[in-house]
Every structure is written in structure tokens, then in C-alpha cells.
Amino acid sequence: MALIQCTECRKEISQKAYVCPHCGFVARQSFFTLMLILLLSTMFFVVLDKVIDVYLAITKHFL
């Protein structure tokens, strides 16, 4: 398991750690991962909304 240096307290923390166990600082790399997950989930719901719209349009067309 790779270790990275905390940008706040300079202590070594796990690369997979979301928050530094020493000072509680949110690791930058993990912060971007969180933002990416947030962005992807937002995109997922936007796409899901469009899929539901298309599904309803098709259902109305055939009924």
C-alpha cells in the first residue's frame, strides 16, 4: 500500500485515505475522487432523467 505525504501536517498517510488520520485534512487526491464520484452520480441522474423521458415518450406512442 502506497503512502503519500499529508499536505497539511506532512505526516505519511495511506494513498487510499480520504481524510488524514493525524490532522483530519481531506487528502487532495481523494478530494478529487470524491468530486469525480459526485460529478458522475450527477451525470447518471441527468442521463436517467433523459432515459425516463424517452421511455415515457415511447410508451405514450405505443399506447
Q: Is 6 in the site for Zn ion (CB under 5 A)?
A: yes
Nearer to Zn ion, 9 or 52 (CB): 9
Handedness of CA 25, 31, 37, 41 (dihedral sign): positive
Smallest gap from residue 36 Cβ to Zn ion (A): 22
Residue 36 makes CB contacts below 8 A (sequence gap 6+) with none
Q: Is 14 in the site for Zn ion (CB under 5 A)?
A: no
Nearer to Zn ion, 23 or 52 (CB): 23
Q: Is 38 in the site for Zn ion (CB under 5 A)?
A: no
Residue pair 9/23 in contact (Cβ under 8 Å)? The answer is yes
